[in-house]
Structures are given as C-alpha cells and as structure tokens.
Amino acid sequence: MTGKLILVRHGETEGNVAKILDTRLPGLPLTERGVAQAKTFGANLSTPPRRLFSSEALRARQTGGHIADATGVKLETLEGMQEVQLGDLEGLNTREAHETFQDVYHAWHFGDLSQRVPGGETGMEVLDRYVPTLERLRDEYLSDDDSGDIILVSHGAVMRLVSRELASVPRLFAANNHLDNTDTIELLPHTDGTWECTRWGRYLPPFGEETAPTGDDPMG
C-alpha cells in the first residue's frame, strides 16, 4: 500500500475567533487554543509522516512547527498552498462579506469555477496554483510501496475545493461540510492517476449528499 496525502487545516487563529476573512500572507497567528490543537494533533499521530509541509501562511507554519516538534520530522514550506484569496473582502468580518464569499464558493462547488471573488480569485485560479503541487508530491513521495504518509498543513476552503475536484466527492456534501481546526482530508492515490478521499473531517466514506450542513465558517 502506498501512503496517503493528509491535508490538515491549521489550528485556531485570532481571525477564526473574530470571524475575520484573513487570507493574505502572512496572516494572523494561532491563539493559545490553536497552539494546543496543533500540539495535540502531532502527539496523536501513531506514525511520523514521511515528509511534512505547510503553506507559507503564519498559522500553517506555526501549526506545522508544533507537529514537527512532536514527530521529529522537519517542516518545509510550499508556495501556492495559501487559502483562497478574497481580494476586496480581505479583513472584513461582516455578515455581508461572508455571504458574498459563500455565494461564489458554492458556485465553484457546483461547477462554475469561473466566478471570481470580488478583487480575488476564481475557482479555476485556485486549482491552477494548488493542484500541480499536489501532483508533484504524489509523483515524488507517494508513487512507491510502503512510502508512508505526507502531511500538508493548509486551509479549510481551499482544501475542500481541491479535494472535491480531485476525488469527486459529492458536490452538496463538499459545499456543506466545513472543516474544524486541525481536521483532516485524507487522499489516497491510485495507480491510474486518480485520488480517493478516505476521510473528510469526522466523516468516512461513503459521503452522502443528504449529510446535514456542519457550520458556516469555511475559511482559514
């Protein structure tokens, strides 16, 4: 069996608490609770990952650093793995701003990747900067037997969008089910070049379209 690509949402941040749309690098730091979440995640890993990566965002690097301390695996940062860029909505915490992003984000999940967040990215632009790096990680570290898992600390909205596209997760499930801090999406590569989603937060497959929504905070 080959290893999995494990995408980890970073620990809680000051922006999460205040519901601030915080996507521009370097971004806000972890809270004390976020630090504790990251340390717990690392301590609970039964086996150290083969490699450990994070986005360049401060919150992801801090989370990855605590995982590195717990596992002894060096943390490496990767370009292009940051959250969906929200442009004109950056730094806002209003209901209107969140609803504006949600409307665009749900459109992406249902196939219209051309819609653009005001002043920010389209869904296709997000995929174009993110997916090639995942494919490179797959080719370099997940193509041989017993290779061990790869961990990438990243961000909730981009993780969900990319994983839905790569692993054909049901659209309504992906659109409705956000990830809590330090939740994971686990992707298993197959030899035919496809990916299989084997975990989405607290859910295991099959992922049902009828699953109830789990909150309104996709960001981070």
* Residue 133 included in any domain: yes
Range of the domain at 144: 5-200
- The full length of the chain comes to 220
Long-range (24+ apart) CB contacts under 8 A made by 182-185 are 182/8, 182/9, 182/10, 182/11, 182/37, 182/38, 182/40, 182/41, 182/63, 183/8, 183/9, 183/156, 184/6, 184/7, 184/8, 184/9, 185/6, 185/7, 185/159, 185/160
Task: Give the pLDDT score at 210.
Answer: 64
Task: Give the pLDDT score at 211.
Answer: 62
- The helix/strand count (H/E) of the chain reads as 7, 6
The total number of structural domains in the chain stands at 1
**2 close to 189: Cβ distance less than 8 angstroms:** yes
* Residue 15 included in any domain: yes
Task: Give the pLDDT score at 212.
Answer: 60
**169 close to 200: Cβ distance less than 8 angstroms:** yes
Task: Give the pLDDT score at 214.
Answer: 58
Task: Give the pLDDT score at 2.
Answer: 75
Q: Who's near 79: CB < 8 A, 6+ residues apart?
A: 56, 133
Q: Using 70 as the pLDDT threshold, list the residues of the chain that sit under it.
A: 1, 146, 209-220
Task: Give the pLDDT score at 78.
Answer: 98
* Residue 214 included in any domain: no
Query: What are the pLDDT digits (tens) for 107-119?
Result: 999 999 999 999 9
CA distance 195 to 193: 7
* Residue 13 included in any domain: yes
* Residue 164 included in any domain: yes
* pTM for the structure as a whole: 0.94
Please report, for the domain that includes residue 72, its CATH number.
3.40.50.1240
CA distance 50 to 150: 6
